[in-house]
Amino acid sequence: MTTNKPNTRVEKDSMGPMDVPAEAYYGASTQRAALNFPISTERFSRRFIRALALIKLTAAQVNSDMGLLDKKIADAIIRASQEMADGKFDKEFVVDIYQTGSGTSTNMNANEVIANRAAEHLGGQRGSRAVHPNDHVNMGQSSNDVIPTAIQLAAAMAIKEDLSPAMDELRKALQAKSQEFWPIIKTGRTHLQDATPIRLGQEFLGYAGQAERAVRRLKHAQEELSEVPLGGTAVGTGINTHPQFPQKVCARLSEVTGISVRETDNHFQAQNSLDALVEASGVLRTISVSLYKIANDIRWLGTGPRAGIGEIVIPEVQPGSSIMPGKVNPVIPESVLQAVAQVQGNDLAVLQAGHGGVFELNMMMPVAAHNLLGSITLLASVTRNFTRQCVVGLKATDQGPKMLEAGLMLTTALVPAIGYDAAAAIAKKAHATGKTIREVAKTDTKLTDKELNEILDPSKMVQPGLGGGPAGG
């Protein structure tokens, strides 16, 4: 459609002429899509654009090496693709996330921008078709294999470069706190009720273990994402592409990204499903659950300062109330809990997108990309912030050790010596009278002070063993 508006130029695609902004690098197909989908302000992320540009760059290299693409044109495409990968043309990606389910509009957006920029590198004009967006830039490719490959590559790179390092930084900080807090013995809690003693350092060792396993799970997700559908073209058969094209492009992508990108051994499953994305999103959901547990525990352990648990002090970063002077809230852990809610919502969107596979193609790729990459970015950012503004500054108080002697579950250590029923009776009496387990046991059992000191030594209750001796003593 042309209207002869000022500051426009006419470009053509298979549907005919179209007015596009004169300064734009995109062409007719992109302009149609921008008009067709005025739905939101959401656009593909910098991560995705970079991955897509790297695919176009390496595809041009491979097609040139195989003698399928003129070297001058290939070099111009490579140069333009590198500029795109570096972020020069991010504002040219004007198509909404909520578009054609295959992402064809965004693939053509990239093809047109690269083609017009490459034409300039050859001395031509934008819109001249000196470099063709389909015949040259998209050679050996289809939106149906390029877009899911770009999503998976972007996600794998984001995990490798951002999220895994952030989780490992958290792991190290939690391990450091575990060592720092190891000497502190306090009352454990199960069902929110008093339980047997535990080291504060053991609690933090548990948190560190969650972070450690998060890193392990991310490695698995990255491995799954690295098996890409590139080379399947329209429906997985590989029509209109050289048989060696996908393998060679994957090899070059591996060199560029540092990720072992490999061609799938079953193109049909790779294009008719988003299973790899659904699995990766599930890993992110699992990690978000771990983060919720860690942040929420820290929030509860720091409640008070006088009417709560108060076993740790959370760094004070800002005033907590507009009405209560001196109040300070656990705002950093709270930000984690909110980010977790968003990630779990994103996961549901990716799950629903996974249902979009019908016959030979999934038709919900853009929304899957938006939510998966958004979750990776959000988790990486909130984890780094949580580590640096909260975890590293945590301090232990003496509240946990002070309350330990009053704990009723110290009676558990008496079970091997006097039996479960007798120990339960002591716990109930201690609770009813306000006395300690030690005080009641001293009068209600035949155990000596030395034996009680031995049995009720908290340091012996935080490790495996049967220190109380046989039942019936």
Average pLDDT (146-167) is 98
Which CATH number goes with the domain that contains 426?
Answer: 1.10.40.30
- What count of other Cβ atoms lies within 10 Å of the Cβ of residue 160? 18
Q: From the candidates 121, 136, 143, 191, which is the catalytic residue?
A: 191
For residue 333, being part of any structural domain is answered with yes
CA angle 34, 48, 90 (to 5 degrees): 55
CATH number at residue 360: 1.20.200.10
pLDDT score of 1: 61
Asked if residue 282 is part of any domain, the answer here is yes
Q: At 2, is the pLDDT very low, low, confident or very high (cuts 50, 70, 90)?
A: low
Residue 57 CB contacts under 8 Å (≥ 6 apart), including other chains: 77, 78, 81, 82, 85, 256
Report whether 114 contacts 93 (CB < 8 A): no
| pLDDT bracket for residue 470 (50, 70, 90) | very low
Q: How many domains does the chain have?
A: 3
**What Å distances lie between residue 382 and 84, 215, 339, 340, CA to CA?**
28, 16, 7, 9
On average, the pLDDT of the chain sits at 96
User: Domain for residue 470, yes or no?
Assistant: no
Strand partners, 263: 228
The 10s digit of each residue's pLDDT in 345-393 is 999 999 999 999 999 999 999 999 999 999 999 999 999 999 999 999 9
Please indicate whether residue 178 is annotated as part of the active site.
no
Residue where one domain finishes, among candidates 118, 139, 160:
139
Residues 320 and 390 in one domain: yes
Model confidence over 401-415: pLDDT tens digits? Answer: 999 999 999 999 999
Domain identity same for 423 and 289:
no
Contact predicate 111/133, CB 8 Å: yes
181 part of a folded domain? yes
Q: State pTM to two decimals.
A: 0.95
User: What is the spatial distance between Cα 254 and Cα 153, in angstroms, rounded to a whole number?
Assistant: 10
Given 3-state DSSP classes, what are the helix, strand and coil percentages for the chain, each rounded to the nearest 5? 60, 10, 35
Cα 266 to Cα 251: distance, rounded to the nearest angstrom:
18
How many Cα atoms sit within 13 Å of 449 on the Cβ side?
0
Q: Do residues 109 and 94 make contact, with C-beta atoms less than 8 angstroms apart?
A: yes
Kindly tell me if the per-residue pLDDT of 114 is higher than 90: yes
Q: Is residue 274 located within the same domain as residue 322?
A: yes
- Read off the pLDDT of residues 66-99 as tens digits, 9 standing for 90 and up: 999 999 999 999 999 999 999 999 999 999 999 9
Look at residue 5 in the predicted model and tell me its pLDDT: 74
**471: pLDDT confidence band, cut at 50, 70 and 90?**
very low
Q: Give the per-residue pLDDT at 386.
A: 98
80 and 225 in a common domain:
no
Note the pLDDT tens digit of each residue in 168-187. Answer: 999 999 999 999 999 999 99
DSSP summary character for residue 472: T
Q: What is the mean pLDDT of residues 314-325?
A: 90
Residue 467 has pLDDT above 70, yes or no: no
State yes or no: is 281 an active-site residue: no
Structural domain containing residue 207: 145-233+266-398
Q: Which of 40, 321, 355, 459 is catalytic?
A: 321
